[in-house]
Structure formats: structure tokens, C-alpha cells
Amino acid sequence: MQTFQYTKAASIDKALAAGSGSKFIAGGTTLVDLMKLSVENPSGLVDINLLPLDKIEALPNGGLRIGAMVRNSDLAWNADVQKDYAVLSQAILSGASPQLRNMATTGGNLLQRTRCVYFRDPNAGTPGGYGCNKRAPGTGCAAMEGFNRMHAVLGTSDKCIATHPSDMCVAMAALEATIQTEGPKGKRTIAFADFHKLPGDTPNVENALEPGELVTYVDLPKPIGGAKSVYLKLRDRASYEFALASCAVVAKVEGGHIRYVRVAMGGVGTKPWRSHEAEAALMGKPANVETFKHAAEAALAGAKPHGENAFKVELARRCVVRSLKMATA
């Protein structure tokens, strides 16, 4: 690990004044690992734990504002979140371990990086090391022909097939959250769908943040009256494991027909994967298994497996069908 300057910011202005080359540190559960592996080599760490961003508050429009420093545990166990946004609580509680969730923050979870084993190799992207276009553009992608069982089947490019690992983000995609930021150029609101980037030709560009820009809040819209929401995560073991496939559903059924639905998938996409195709196949249709199977087909129609991860396509279809059954039961 290279040496770095550590400062603790007492205000947002002070945090934003950090020079280029610095990174914010929140819970540290991702960043410190990546620094030990030489994946991240910031010249400075700006500790943002003193910032007044640790509240969950009602918004005047009936939605909920979540501070970027709200710990994953506090968010998951919040009474309003459990009542009105159950999918978010379930998604967070399905991730990591209680100890990690006690440290991990909303902002840090949004910005966690892929678990691709080649990306996390200290020598990736260096001469003699594994090729990794995300670590060092132009060095290739060792995962394409290598160990890719955990990798993505949706949103991939010929430069990178790394999966986005977050559970929380899949629920936020289905809830159509918005992200509030503050940076050297001022404040911005970013739609959740625009926050994480597809790899395309530049897998090293992972999100819409500008250098030095701080996530301040995540806003959830007013809950949909009469809707039920569910997060289902399928993985190699029952806890403390990343998703092979997961699905977040928010659905409202009236008179046996689907009147509102949002579907997002995890473990299979290069970003938290909202499936407009599945939603189109569900809207207005009878809430039954036949409809759910059509939706699952539509959701995975564009899937591109790479050898070892071909099983994910069928697994993800089944995950979509089962989570739709649960959300409409």
C-alpha cells in the first residue's frame, strides 16, 4: 500500500476542498481492501464520517431522503423503509454480514466496485499481470476466456464483462431512486438509471460522478399505494455471499391484473439492471405464471453468456418468475 495523507472533514465544503488524487472514505469496507490490493492508490483519504449526512428523513412529496452516511444496517432496519420500501430492506439484509453492514454506508454501497478476481489481482493491468481493461485500458480482459462463472450476461462489452455486485442498488433501481450530489461545480440530481455506466469501450468509467464529487443523499419517491415489493437473491451459500442472480420487484395487482410493476436484476448485469422488457411484458396482463415466464424470457432475451456463466441465464429467468410470484401473491 502506498502512503497517503489522511484528513477528517468537518463540513461538506471542507470535504470538497480535497485535492485531486484524494478519495472519500466512509465505512472503508471496500476502499481499504482495494488499497491493500493496490487496486486503489489515492494520495489522500478524506474521512467523511463527521458530515451531517446520517439521517433518514421524510420528503415533502411523500418520499424518503437517505443521507449518504446512513449505515446499511440503520437503513435496512428503519421502520419506514421496512413498511414502505420492503424491497430495499430485504436487499440490504441479504448482503455481506451484520458487522459489515454496521460499517457500510449508503454512499459507499453505491460506489462499491466489481468482485472480478482479475480486477482485484494486485498486478492486473501491468506487464506480466492479467489483462484488465478496467484497471488499465487497452490491456485486455482476462475474464473473457478465464474464470467467469460470477460474471455478467447483460450489458457486457468486448472490453469487460464484470458484474456489478451491489444488492442495495438493485432495489434502488426498481424503486426509481434519485441521487443527490455536491461537487466543485455545484449540486446535481442524477436519476438512478444514469448513475452507473455500462462498460462499453471505457470500463474504467463506472459512474456519473465527476472527480471530487460527493454523494450527499439518495431520494426515494413516494411509495406506490397498494404495491408489494420483494427482493430474491440466489447464491452459492445462504449468507455472506454475492448474488449469482437476484431480482427486485415492486408490483401492484388489481382485479387479477398487473397495474404497476418495476423489475430490476442483480448478479447478472454490468450495472444494477432495470428490465424495461420484463415490465412491458407484465403491464396490464393477468398475474399468473404464464405471464411471469414471458416476462422472464423478455428480461434475459439479450443475455450473452461467456462459457462458465451460461447457467446464469436460466437461473435468472427462474429468479424473475419466483420473485414475481412472491410479489403478487
Ligand X SMILES: Cc1cc2nc3c(=O)[nH]c(=O)nc-3n(C[C@H](O)[C@H](O)[C@H](O)COP(=O)(O)OP(=O)(O)OC[C@H]3O[C@@H](n4cnc5c(N)ncnc54)[C@H](O)[C@@H]3O)c2cc1C
Site for ligand SF4 (CB under 6 A): which residue of 25, 86, 104, 132? 132
What cell does 111 get? Answer: 460506489
Site for ligand SF4 (CB under 6 A): which residue of 24, 85, 119, 292? 119
160 binds, among ligand SF4, ligand X, none (CB under 5 to 8 A by kind): ligand SF4
- Interface with ligand X includes 179 (CB under 6 A)? no
323 binds, among ligand X, ligand SF4, none (CB under 5 to 8 A by kind): none
Q: Sheet with 22-25: list strands edge to edge.
A: 5-8, 44-47, 22-25
Q: Sheet with 178-183: list strands edge to edge.
A: 56-58, 64-67, 214-220, 178-183, 186-191
By C-beta, is 9 or 227 nearer to ligand X?
A: 9
100 binds, among ligand X, ligand SF4, none (CB under 5 to 8 A by kind): ligand X
In terms of Cβ atoms closer than 10 Å to its own Cβ (0-12, 13-18, 19+), residue 182 is: buried
- Interface with ligand X includes 267 (CB under 6 A)? no
Instruction: Kindly indicate which of the ranges 20-28, 222-230, 270-278, 289-297 contains the residues binding ligand X, using the contact rule CB under 6 A.
Output: 20-28
The residues pairing with 22 across neighbouring beta strands, listed in sequence order, are 44
By CB under 6 A, the residues from 68 to 127 that bind ligand X are 68, 72, 95-96, 100, 103-105, 107-109, 111-112
Give the position of cell 426509481.
176
- Interface with ligand X includes 26 (CB under 6 A)? yes
What residue spans of the chain are helical by DSSP H?
A: 12-16, 31-36, 72-77, 79-84, 86-93, 98-103, 106-110, 168-174, 192-195, 276-282, 289-300, 311-328
Asked whether the beta carbons of 284 and 276 are under 8 A apart, the reply is no
- Interface with ligand SF4 includes 203 (CB under 6 A)? yes
- In the complex, the residues that contact ligand X under the rule CB under 6 A are 23-31, 33, 48, 68, 72, 95-96, 100, 103-105, 107-109, 111-112, 165-168, 214-215, 242
Binding residues for ligand SF4 (CB under 6 A): 114, 116, 118-119, 132-134, 141-143, 160-162, 203
